[in-house]
Amino acid sequence: MNTRVLDSPAAPSGTQVRLDTEILVVGAGFAGLAMAISLERAGMGSFVVIERAADLGGTWRENRYPGCACDIPSVLYSFSFARNPKWTRSYPLQQEIWDYLRFVADKFNVRRHIRFDAEMVETRWDEADMTWHTQLADGSTIVSRFIVAGFGPLSNPDVPRIAGLETFKGECWHSAQWRSDVDLRGKRVAVIGTGASAVQLVPRIAPEVAKLYVFQRTPGWILPKPDYPISPVQKWLRNFKPIAWLERQATYWMIESRAYGFTVNPNALKLAEGIARKHRDRQLQSAELRAKMTPTYRLGCKRIIPSNDYYPAFNLPQVELVTEGIAEIREHSIVDERGTEREVDVIILGTGFRTTDGLTPLKVYGAGGRELNDAWRDGMAAFYGVSIAGFPNFFLLLGPNTALGHNSVVLMIEAQVRHLMRVFKLLRATGARAVGVREDVQDAFNARLQRKMRGTVWSTGCKSWYLDKNGKNTTLWPEFTFDYFRKVERVRPENYTLIGAPATSAVRAAGPRGNG
Ligand SMILES: Cc1cc2nc3c(=O)[nH]c(=O)nc-3n(C[C@H](O)[C@H](O)[C@H](O)COP(=O)(O)OP(=O)(O)OC[C@H]3O[C@@H](n4cnc5c(N)ncnc54)[C@H](O)[C@@H]3O)c2cc1C
């Protein structure tokens, strides 16, 4: 990439700095693409998207295990500005979502901004010229004024530490790194974990394997999935914008109403527990299995899993649920804590993702050389999941506490992108060259957020991937999503330090405010 001298659209006119690009967007999943499209539509063409893989799509490019699908209806799990009247199912499979993202990238002409096989490994804030110097895995560097990072909250597979795992002589892979070259027919297979991915893949592989052992630590709450093919009439109706809009609104409010139980009154979720129990009783023949597969924590505390075919897989003679913990893995077998040894040819790790490790192994050095993972030693924290005190001009999409346990994160991504476009506008209006959230504002925001978290279902005592090693929920938004949209709708200058702006001191004098 050639370094050019660019006019900074965010800086006072005439300000010139040596930059490769004005804005560096990281990741080409839903988040990075949303940012790229917004910049393109606003005519802010000086941006580059770097993507460590060879194609766009993020989650939906990586996760190709059999049965992989979203668990939010596609009318909501898609961009509001790019509806897809072609969805074939209410909950489409991975391939269709991946195709949708490629279609969107082409429709808005942003593919030409994406640099594939470009992995960010380190970035450093240069305080003198107020630029970010980003180092890629291939040794090259990109200098930019801003970084907008859509790394993905579920993009780094979590490989468990199990004694002997590395000694296993058969095939072993994580659900997010599916091996389609291995034929599972007639094989003895172990699936470790019973989270969302395992629940989707177990019914697909169960009929073809010789033996399937499903190792369960904690059962999930499983609800019926209202998944059905979209009829030709429904598809045709979706071509009419007002009808498509109404369907999206109705779906949003139906799903959002669940947030009352999640964030305000967890006892309200007892009703859904009744539905889940009935679903289990209808689908599971064995009383022993019903007992073993019934959670003892409140529904919603861990992610709810919608599925119509998970329980029935356990009625097959070749499928066995193992609830004893794993003591050890040997060259050709798994030994449980009771000493029972089961011979297996393949191990599939359905063990989820590293969600609370911050950005490790990536290094982000902000003002004063402070490293972000260091700043997050006691838990990830940001301001509305987007800005981080001490890291000017560095923004996250779906950062701390902005993932959801009940609705589509695409809604959050769009709100964050709109918010960032307002931040850029603020910079232009004030003539500032850099912006960073004030530390006291961020601290007050997170103290409020964690107080709010105490009353949510996620704090009712279960162990989940929403919580970090200290038991703190640093992943989810603890209120209604419309509260979030409203709060980030405005960018309040008094919450930020505007560097290089003539009015900086006046702005800083105002007290912190509740909203973005
Ligand atoms: C199996 C599965 C099912 C899911 N189902 C749902 C659902 O139904 N509803 C829902 O709301 N959410 C769901 N999610 C969560 C899902 O991750 C988000 O909905 C959404 O895809 C996040 O988009 P993103 O762009 O933030 O992240 P991703 O889609 O993960 O994209 C991040 C991109 O950044 C790239 N990247 C990461 N680090 C670097 C780096 N250092 N340098 C360069 N590039 C980098 C990655 O390669 C990736 O392409 C699901 C997740 C999984 C794994």
Six token digits for residue 295: 């959670």
Find the angle CA(507)-CA(511)-CA(514) to the nearest 5 degrees: 110
Q: How far is the CA of 369 from the centre of ligand 1 (A)?
A: 29
How large a percentage of the chain has pLDDT more than 70? Answer: 94
Counting atoms of ligand 1 from 1, which one is nearest the CA of 56? 49
Q: Looking at the predicted structure, is the pLDDT value of residue 505 above 50?
A: no
Q: Is the dihedral of CA 20, 24, 28, 34 positive or negative?
A: negative
Q: Would you place residue 514 in the very low, low, confident or very high pLDDT band (cuts 50, 70, 90)?
A: low
Q: Would you place residue 18 in the very low, low, confident or very high pLDDT band (cuts 50, 70, 90)?
A: confident
Residues 1-27 have a mean pLDDT of: 64
Instruction: Give the DSSP H or E segment for 99.
Output: helix 94-107
Q: Would you place residue 504 in the very low, low, confident or very high pLDDT band (cuts 50, 70, 90)?
A: very low
Contact by Cβ (8 Å): 174, 349: yes
Q: Would you place residue 205 in the very low, low, confident or very high pLDDT band (cuts 50, 70, 90)?
A: very high
What is the per-residue pLDDT for 355? 87
Mutate which of 113, 154, 394 to test ligand 1's pocket (most atoms within 8 Å of Cβ)? 154
Q: What is the pLDDT of residues 419-445, one digit of tens each?
A: 999 999 999 999 999 999 999 999 999
Contact by Cβ (8 Å): 261, 274: no
Residue 370 φ/ψ, nearest 5 degrees:
-70, 130
Q: What is the pLDDT of residues 278-333, one digit of tens each?
A: 999 999 999 999 999 999 999 999 999 999 999 999 999 999 999 999 999 999 99
Q: What is the pLDDT of residues 26-35, one digit of tens each?
A: 999 999 999 9
Q: How far is the CA of 29 from the centre of ligand 1 (A)?
A: 6
Q: How far is the CA of 188 from the centre of ligand 1 (A)?
A: 31
Among protein residues, the one with the nearest Cα to ligand 1's atom 32 is: 152
Q: What is the pLDDT of residues 149-170, one digit of tens each?
A: 999 999 999 999 999 999 999 9
What is the per-residue pLDDT for 509? 32
What is the per-residue pLDDT for 16? 60
Counting atoms of ligand 1 from 1, which one is nearest the CA of 200? 1
Q: What is the pLDDT of residues 340-351, one digit of tens each?
A: 999 999 999 999
Among protein residues, the one with the nearest Cα to ligand 1's atom 22 is: 152
C-alpha span between 418 and 489 (Å, rounded): 8
- Identify the CA nearest to 272 among candidates 251, 298, 291: 298
What is the per-residue pLDDT for 360? 80
Q: Looking at the predicted structure, is the pLDDT value of residue 12 above 70?
A: no
C-alpha span between 515 and 427 (Å, rounded): 18
Q: Verify whether ligand 1 is closer than 6 Å to residue 77 (CB atom).
A: yes
Q: Verify whether ligand 1 is closer than 6 Å to residue 350 (CB atom).
A: no
439-478 per-residue burial string, b: 16 or more CB within 10 A, e: under 16: eebbebbbeebbebbeebbbbeebebbbbbeeebbbbbbb
What is the per-residue pLDDT for 15? 52
Q: Would you place residue 249 in the very low, low, confident or very high pLDDT band (cuts 50, 70, 90)?
A: very high
Q: What is the pLDDT of residues 477-502, one digit of tens each?
A: 999 999 999 999 999 999 999 998 76
How many other CB atoms are found less than 10 A from the CB of residue 44?
A: 15
How many other CB atoms are found less than 10 A from the CB of residue 410?
A: 20
Instruction: Compare 274 and 512 and report the one with higher pLDDT.
Output: 274
Among protein residues, the one with the nearest Cα to ligand 1's atom 35 is: 27
Q: What is the pLDDT of residues 263-282, one digit of tens each?
A: 999 999 999 999 999 999 99
Strands (E), 197-257: 211-215, 222-223
Q: Would you place residue 99 in the very low, low, confident or very high pLDDT band (cuts 50, 70, 90)?
A: very high
DSSP letter string over 389-428? TT-TTEEESS-TT-B-SSS-HHHHHHHHHHHHHHHHHHHH
What is the per-residue pLDDT for 507? 40
